[in-house]
Amino acid sequence: MMNKQLLIVFFLAFWSSSFGQYTYEYDTLSYNHRMLGSVDSTDALSGTLPTTFDGGIGIMSAEGFSLNRLNNDFGGLRFNQTIPNQPLKFSALPFIGFSYSFGGQGTQFIRAQYVQSFTDSLVLNIDYARNIGNGYLRSSTFSSSRVNLNLEWKSSWYTLKLTGAYYTDSLDHNGGRIADTLDGNGSVIKDTLIETFGLAFSPVWKSNAAAKNTYANATLTNYFHLNSESINRFGLLTRHQYDIKYRAYHELDTLYGIYDLINIDSITTYDRLNLARIQNSAGAFFVSQNKYIDFQIGHTYWSNLNLGNDFDTTEIDIESNLRWNFGRLLLRNKFKQNIVGGFGAMSEKASVHYNHLKWNVSGNLSIDRIAPIPFQRSYFGNNYAYKLDEIKLENRLMLGGTAAYKIKGDSILVGASVNSLSIRDAYIFEDTMWNQTGSLNALQIGAFGQFQVGKFHFHPRVIYSIEPNTYLPQIQTYARVYYKSTVFKAKKLLLLIGLDGSYTSAYQPRGFTPSMDAYTWNQDPVLTKGMANAHFFTTIEISTFRFFVRYENIGYFWNAKNISEYTDYPIAGQRIRIGLTWSFFN
């Protein structure tokens, strides 16, 4: 049975804490807190699903086929441009959590968490994650690491908040597999190589291509309290942020036979891109027991370095943040408007959360009018060179909500969700440059539930998508079925054994250009086939220690081997993964 902590995380934002809170919310850890949350989902949350795609970034899941993911990928890059900050966690006792799992294809997933409140004025959080794998296809080794740091120190007149993030990944790019025979439009007529040779020995487009991506961010926020009243405070704030993004792409091949353009070398490519940004802002804030509001004006300078194609810009923005509690109703709003140097870009993020008795309801609104990133505006590499003649804004709108109702405590729960996405004038990578030709509308309607009969649990989920380009499967169904019970006379050992099942209907796979790290959205007349999949799992828990085994992608036995996840990237084979988690309060 899913415990209350998981339900809270799933349906609500993090609870407010009275611990020195002037600016934002804490996630307060209870003594029952465990690494990766509830034992009911430890195995699934410990790593990502198998995939043949570069860098181990799969799509065959509800999250992969979500509107959030579609919004990020449509006109975007494989390498995520930002890392969301982790919410600050408070614990009365120092907490250390660790998770490790390994499996086929050299797969390893490492997760670690450290939370300590040294005094009632000083809190430190560190989160770490690492993924490693050799991949299913040739030349598909990858590794990635992420570190998040949160620190807060406060006094009667001053509060300091420091956040930092570092992410790096190194990967081989193979460009996907080569199919047997293609027609004049590039569609597969005959495809037997993968059936004959299997994934590991199927020919691929590239054998000597690799990339390294790095992102780092540090933000220091200072709050100066101008009054000594503990309930209602107002004051001045300053925020200082620095971030840097770096990408290097290397390829060794007869490039003159692959690319139409050769700018530097016909055999070897070593493209580099470095974008650094520094931002300073100042403003005022007001905070009370149930609300927080601030207003800032900020100056940003960024510099783009790219093999001599260097340019920089200064921008000025205004920003406001609001959080307001009306009893069980929580409102959040974040608004940002560019006034100089950023083409008038604007961002509006609003959310509402309601929790009362058996109801959990949330809604979200996101409006973005954004300029293309520097990489899309102008670029020079060995095989690509372009510059936009005119820069215009993209328009993106997301609106959605979720409602859940507990019919019988945590034993029976039902819920529904509705989410919509509208994109206009998005910059899409087409052949050799970015063109402002991307538009789409999408709607997702979902229903989910949680049912318990004795020691048996059933968690179904159904998602129906309407998207004219078929970038999303029209039908998605997921179900997690398991048996959960204590065993032996002492009843200190908890056992779970179950099965994850899924079905996704046909969809239009997105393409990928490794040398540009860009998704492509050319219409292929051939859709993927619908497919069913399953994963077996078992978990045991003894106090703060958990051990689990997962047998993933069982559906590879019965699905056609040439079904594409991405264009030229077939579905991955089976994988056995073994892991453990350990949680410790000192």
pLDDT of residue 183: 54
Contacts of 84 (CB under 8 A, 6+ apart): none
pLDDT value at position 181? 59
pLDDT value at residue 548: 98
CB contact set of 299 (below 8 Å; sequence gap of 6+):
279, 280, 281, 314, 315, 316
pLDDT digits (tens, 9 = 90+) for 340-380: 999 999 999 999 999 988 999 999 999 999 999 999 999 99
Predicted pLDDT of residue 210:
97
In this model, does residue 492 exceed pLDDT 90? no
Annotate 252-321 with DSSP letters as a single string: ES-GGGT-S--SS-SSEEEEEEEEEEEEEEEEEEEE-SSEEEEEEEEEEEEEEESTT--EEEEEEEEEEE
Residue 578: predicted pLDDT: 98
Tell me whether residue 357 is exposed, middle or buried, using C-beta atoms within 10 angstroms of its C-beta: 0 to 12, 13 to 18, 19 or more: exposed
- State both tokens at 431: 């052949």
What pLDDT sits at residue 26? 72
pLDDT of amino acid 402: 98
What's the rounded Cα separation, in Å, for the pair 580 and 34?
A: 12
- Cα separation of 363 and 348, whole Å? 14
What are 53-108's pLDDT values in tens digits?
999 999 999 999 999 999 999 998 998 766 777 788 888 899 999 999 999 999 99
What is the percentage of the chain residues whose pLDDT exceeds 90? 79
| Residue 228: exposure state from Cβ atoms within 10 A (0-12, 13-18, ≥19) | exposed
Question: Buried (b) or exposed (e) across 514-545, using 16+ Cβ within 10 A?
Answer: bbbbbbebeebebebeebebbbebbbbbeeee
Hey, is 510 helix, strand or coil? coil
| Better pLDDT: 524 or 451 | 451
| Total length of the chain | 586
pLDDT of residue 2: 37
Q: How far from 526 is each of 202, 354, 532, CA to CA, in Å? A: 21, 44, 19
Residue 414's pLDDT band (cuts 50, 70, 90): very high
Whether pLDDT at 288 is above 70: yes
Instruction: Report yes or no: 577 and 101 within 8 Å, Cβ to Cβ.
Output: yes
How large is the average pLDDT for residues 399-420?
95
**Residue 6 reports pLDDT greater than 80:** no
Closest CA to 125 of 153, 146, 148: 148
Q: Record the tokens describing residue 3, joined without a space.
A: 């415990």
Q: Residues 564-568: what's their mean pLDDT?
A: 92
Residue showing tokens 């790290």: 517
Residue, of 90 and 276, whose pLDDT is higher: 276
Domains of the chain: 4-585 (2.40.170.20)
Integer Cα distance of 69 and 67 in angstroms:
5
Mean pLDDT of the chain: 91
C-alpha distance from residue 391 to each of 347, 373, 432, 442, 523 (Å): 18, 10, 17, 26, 26
Query: What sign does the dihedral 66-69-75-77 (CA atoms) show?
Result: negative
Query: What is the arithmetic mean of pLDDT over 526-540?
Result: 94
- Would you tell me how many other CB atoms lie within 10 Å of the CB of residue 42? 24
The reported pLDDT for the residue numbered 353 is: 97
pLDDT tens figures, 430-483: 989 999 999 999 999 999 999 999 999 999 999 999 999 999 999 999 999 999
Cβ proximity of 387 and 395 under 8 Å: no
What 3-state class would DSSP assign to 100?
strand
Residue 73: φ, ψ to 5°: -85, -30
